[in-house]
Each structure stands twice: as structure tokens, then as C-alpha cells.
Amino acid sequence: MVKRLMKIVMAALIFILAFGSTSFAALQPGGPSTNGNTNINSTLSYADVVKILEDIERSSKVKVEVSTLDEYGKSEQGRSIYVAKVGTGPQKIWIQAQIHGNEKLVTEAALQLLKMYANSGEKDVERVLEEATLYFIPMYNPDGAEMNIRHTRLSDSGKLIDLNRDWTAKGFEAVESKVVYAYWADVNPDFAIDLHHQGLKQVYGTNESTSFSLGISLAPDGPTLPSTGYNEITKQMMAYVYDEMKDYGYTHIDRYQVGVNREEEFGYDIDIRGGVVSAMMMGLNYNNLNPEGHSHPAVFFETKGNSTEGSLGQKSNGYLTKQNYLALKSLVHGYVTGEVGNVNPDDWYNIPHYPLAGYLTDYNGIVPVGSDSGY
């Protein structure tokens, strides 16, 4: 009974550390200074994003198409969710940012990539646009962005909803979830990249503050991912990005893990089935909008810090944004050209990470390595 109680308490603590970024930041060493005030004046507002999208569309000379998802609905507070499309090729790539409203630099990175596709005439870029069509959602959570909070707030009850836990058969409480899901079901992408910020931590075996983490929301070799058929390709994707980025400037890269205990040196991989890209990989059919069970591989990037008070300093914003931009550009190129498929999946294990202690789930607490989840 005591052991069971301790396990429950540990799972709850790790869940807080993993998904409550302020608490996680406070407990981890390194990263942006947590002293002083966080100034978000230099980050993009909703109005800024709309204007930038309009400017990109205008300057692209019809290469970029900007629209809203108003045909599906608006946000809880009545804001349009903007999307942009570029490219004419058959491979469909989905890029989303700022599903959490206090994770702001990733939106700027996505817009920089879109602008590059709109204006660059480089052969590699043109090849991507000939062979793929890219769908951008640079600000998935406009209400949370304007409130500078992780969640959105339901208009009828005031309840806070984490949009990245709302894509479940019993979820879709927020309008934003229904809107973006309906768009996803219409697009039927072949691949998705999700952009996030995380708390402050340290690369295993070093004194370096992690600036960039590479993640797969259904853990490779874990309780769920192997059954989807995407266990190998997602590892190849992340290994490809690591090889492309590991020697870039001030970037300190590791695998995304939570509940890291540096004294005993272990960490947990996540197996989150309610996350948006998890639902994409599992082929979720909500409201019978995806009756064929369309699914595809998906990965996510995590940048250190966020715009919660005391977490993100302005001095590092430029390189944090650029590392996302470069990682996005490289992965899209590698996927379109087929270079990703030449990577040894086992190179995933070469990405720095804490020894695996288990899987943190949103359906069964901590699942030990090698156990049967019953999926």
C-alpha cells in the first residue's frame, strides 16, 4: 500500500513538472535567468502575426496563400485562427506553433520560415516547393497568446483548457480544438511538426543549459508508438535534425524528457495520447470527420524558457528563434528529399538524454519500461 501511494505521489509530481512549465523551470538549473521581469514587448502579438502574414502573402507574388479557419469557427474569444499555405507539391507538411499561448518565439520562427519560402529562389527551396505543400498555423492559440497564458479559457464557463491535451475522444472542449481538427481532417497531411517551449534544464553529463530538445510525444519503443507504424521514421527524423544542428553556435541539444532527477540521473519519456500530434499519429476519428483513420508521423521541438514571468530573457531570443528556424528548414528539406530515410534509426539513442526510468503517460501514470500498456 505504501509503495503504491509513493508511486501515485511521484507520478503526480512528475506530471506537474512536465506540464506546468513554471514549476519545471524553477527546479531546473541553467537556461535563461529567472531573476527580474520578463518583457514580452519584443514578442509578436496576435495583430502583429496577422500583419506579418498579410505582408508575406503580398510580397510573395501569389506563392503564399493566407486565410482563416472561420468556416470551421473562431476561437473562444472570437478571434480568427490564421493559416498559410505555400508550395504546389503532393507531399503535405503541417507546421503548427504556439498551441500554448506563453510559448511565443516559435511563432516568429515559423513565420521566418514561411517568409523564406515566399521569397527565396534557391534551388533547394524551389525543390521543396515543387515536391511539397506546407500548411502553417503560426498561432494556434490566439486567445492564450493575448492573455500570455498556456491555456485557452472557455467563453461560457471560464474553465482553462490545455489545447494540447484536448484531442481525445472525450475531449474537444475548446472551440479551437474542433476548428483545427476539422482543418487537419480536410488537409490530411503526410507529416507534422509541432513547436513548443519548455522549462529550464541541463544536457545530461554536461554543465550546459539545454537550449533545444527533440521530442516524439508517443515515446519511441514505448507503450503506444510501435503500434502506429511510426516508431522508426520518427526516430530517423529526430536523429537527422540532431546531426544537422549539433554543431550550430550556442545550441545545446538533447532529447525531450521530463521529471529529470539530476542527483540520481534519470528521466522519463512522455507517452501522451491526448496531445494533438499524438492524436494525428493514432488516426483519431472525432465526430466521424476522419472515418478512414488517416494518420501520419509527427515530431515536436522544444525551446528553453517561455514568456511566463521570470523565464524568458530578451538577450537570448534571437538565437533561440534561429535554432527553431534552422531545425525546421533542415527537417522539411530532409523529409522532402528523402534524406531522412537514409538515417539509421538507432542514431536516436545518440542524442544526449538521461537514462530512461519509464514513461510518463496521461492515461496510466508512470508506465515502467517494457510493460504492456494494453493499447
Q: Could you count the other beta carbons within 10 Å of the beta carbon of residue 306? A: 27
Q: What is the pLDDT along the chain (375 residues), one digit of tens a residue?
A: 444 444 444 444 444 444 444 333 322 323 333 343 455 566 899 999 999 999 999 999 999 999 999 999 999 999 999 999 999 999 999 999 999 999 999 999 999 999 999 998 899 999 999 999 999 999 999 999 999 999 999 999 999 999 999 999 999 999 999 999 999 999 999 999 999 999 888 999 999 999 999 999 999 999 999 999 999 999 999 999 999 999 988 789 999 999 887 777 899 999 999 999 999 999 999 999 999 999 999 999 999 865 555 555 555 778 889 999 999 999 999 999 999 999 999 999 999 999 999 999 999 999 999 765 544
pLDDT at position 260: 81
Whole-number Å distance between alpha carbons of 253 and 228 = 27
Strand pairing partners for 360?
Answer: 270, 366
Each residue of 228-245: b (16+ CB within 10 Å) or e? bebbbbbbbbbbbbbebb
- CA distances to 164, 179, 181, 293, 294 from 288, rounded to whole Å, are 20, 14, 11, 9, 12
* pLDDT, tens digit, 9 for 90 and up, residues 290-314: 999 999 999 999 998 655 555 555 5
Nearest one of 156, 146, 65, 66 to 98, comparing CA atoms? 146
* Helix pair 123-131, 317-337: axis angle to 10 deg: 60
Please say whether the beta carbons of 131 and 89 come within 8 A: yes
Nearest one of 348, 295, 307, 269 to 25, comparing CA atoms? 307
Helix (H) or strand (E) holding 176: helix 175-187
pLDDT at position 226: 97
pLDDT at position 81: 98
Strand pairing partners for 95?
Answer: 136, 193
* pLDDT, tens digit, 9 for 90 and up, residues 82-105: 999 999 999 999 999 999 999 999
pLDDT at position 108: 96
pLDDT at position 264: 78
pLDDT at position 371: 67
Q: Could you count the other beta carbons within 10 Å of the beta carbon of residue 345? A: 16
pLDDT at position 263: 75
Whole-number Å distance between alpha carbons of 19 and 9 = 16
Please report the beta strands in the chain, taking only residues with DSSP state E, as ranges in sequence order: 64-68, 82-87, 91-97, 132-137, 152-153, 160-161, 191-198, 212-215, 253-255, 258-261, 266-271, 298-304, 356-361, 366-367
